[in-house]
Structure 1
Amino acid sequence: MTQDLPDQELVTRCRTNRAELQESFRALYDRHSGPAFHYLRLLLDDEARARDCLQETFLRVYRNLDRYDQERSFRSWVLGVARNVGLDALRREGVRQASPLEREPANHEGPFQAALLNEQDQLLSEAVASLPPGERAVFVLKQVEGLTYREIASTIGCSERTAQYRMRAAVETLVRRLRERGLLPGGAS
């Protein structure tokens, strides 16, 4: 029954009703931890670091619920907190690429097809991971999480025009890098 309540109602219950705090926050966590983890996994390109950052994200969300502006989308706010935690981790630890052995194996029909798709997936992941953090964040929020430019702007604290610019720059960089690696027409063979 708590799961069916809108985010704003759950936040209000967390803020005002000690008896319902745990259940209401659990509902918020259950609803938003999946998208936040997915975002962090793509931003950091490391599942273990993404899990650590997810814990830190929801610790910060819990500690700062009183600062949440209920006029904003709660999802955008959580993803903004996740972005800040993820970027802090990147700055603190430096960008580290996962080795091919650390990546989850693809589950496909034949070994040749699986190897080819895994290689293409790895090249795409490396291209996304090599984007500057601001462009990578916008790309992941738009292409993976499906946020609008308005939601992205609210999440990362920039204008819609800046979010659009960063998305365009990210796509141009990805297209260039994928062409160089022969994954798109017009590049090296």
Structure 2
Amino acid sequence: MPAFRRLYELLAGDLLQYIRLFTGNRADAEEILQDVFVKLWEKRETLPDIRSFRSYLFKMGRNHVLNYLRSEKKWETLPAEDPVLIQPDPAEKAIIKEYYRIAQDAIDHLPERRKQVFRLREEDGLSLDEIASLLGISKSAVKQHLYAATAHIRKYLQQYGVSTVYLPLFCTYLYT
């Protein structure tokens, strides 16, 4: 239980902000957040198999928001498909588009090699070893470039008042 509590302490604030984007209401967002963590606790045995835990958690949050909107009849035209397959609505797309523009600006301000490493990783999905081999640099250098690129992008986003909670979201949508 202490590890789960620590996980909650680390991620609940960011997830709550993300959920509030869609509910517009703190009370509903807190209820959805609680539901997400209850569901997470129920699935705790499967958690070691998850590659990107933060992305998994935010996807759970998004699915719970969609279920909430559907149940409250606030989104009358939601398709009946699996929520994971539902595309973002126009309001969500507008937010993502603006954040995408800011994230692209941040990437454009990276030094050339760092930008190249970041794009090979995010756009092409190459492993650290593949990037190192392709560029003729060490795996350690690739990690340093990625760390520095991510730090730069986070700082850039914060300068524009965008919570870094959205960084995983940007990496999901940047090259799709």
**TM-score calculated relative to the size of structure 2:** 0.47
